[in-house]
Amino acid sequence: MELAIVGLGRMGGNMARRLVERGHRVVGYSRTKATVDEHVPFGIVPAYTPEEVIGALTPPRVVWFMYPAGEPTESAIFQFAPLLQAGDIVVNGANSFYKDSIRYAERLAVRGIRFADVGVSGGVWGLENGYGLMAGGDPEAIAWIEPILRDLAPTPDKGWVHAGPVGAGHYAKMIHNGIEYAIMQAYAEGFELLRRKSEFQMDIAAVAEAWRHGTVIRSWLLDLIAGFLKEDSELTEVAPYVADSGEGRWTAHEAIDLGSPAPLITLALHERFRSQDAQGFQYRFLAQLRKAFGGHAVKKVEPGESRD
């Protein structure tokens, strides 16, 4: 079938390539001409304006958006909306907050435009291995885009799900990412404990490789861990800063709203916040407070030494 992918970044561009490889006609559009041109050799049909995108598709059109969540996605969807007609389908594949997707669907429904929200997992490996897909929308809309979902997934019958009505796809992806935060934090803490047991002089890369086979904690994430530890077990070129995309925050807020305990996910999110505090004020505060009540020595910053 045919569709347009709006946003040809790392995810959107690879998704477009995977679909072309599987026989779909993909019209590609991005905010810069150079990005579109980069993908022409892979078989996409180039379009350089929203009008060209719409003109290159036969109704009912499928326009799949892969911009960053929030304002970039909302602006793009409603830049295209006046050009679409009743029966066309907008797919939001960004990591959007599920309530935003519900709101987008309501606005588009006034024009008779159908909507699906699809949470996409797989990162840069999705082109080769396929993507995990969580779709929200009415059954008719999902049935129409099912050939796309089946070819983006690792296999046609595995790795994708119609999670429920509009909003359910991004809700499932939000919880997926919250779980991901907690799993990553557990691995990080465990490998730090291995590394700190200096008297054992443990080869943590070798341990990671062994754990990949037969253990109950083997996973794709552990495969990746073993790979990068083999290259540099001290991670000397990596700054101790871990960004958060927003999905972990949304998951923690949802846990509060539902009164559903999620301490591991929430703590993993807070550990990311901790890594982002370059000034370390909380720790300097605690050190000074220990001195105030107990006379404990405070380590001073040496001249020329940065706190960052």
Angle 294-298-304 (CA atoms, 0-180°, nearest 5)?
170
Is 291 noted as a catalytic residue in this protein? no
- CA pair distance 160, 131, nearest whole angstrom: 8
Asked whether the beta carbons of 98 and 167 are under 8 A apart, the reply is: yes
Burial class (CB in 10 A: 0-12, 13-18, 19+), 36: buried
Identified catalytic residue from 173, 247, 254, 271: 173
Let me know if 180 is a catalytic residue: yes
Residues in a beta bridge with 155: 158
Q: Which of 38, 52, 146, 180 is catalytic?
A: 180
Closest CA to 272 of 249, 294, 288, 250: 249
Phi, psi angle pair for 306, to nearest 5° = -90, 150
Q: Give the chain's radius of gyration (CA, Å).
A: 23
> What is the rounded distance in angstroms from the CA atom of residue 161 to the CA atom of residue 29?
27
Annotated catalytic sites, by residue?
173, 180
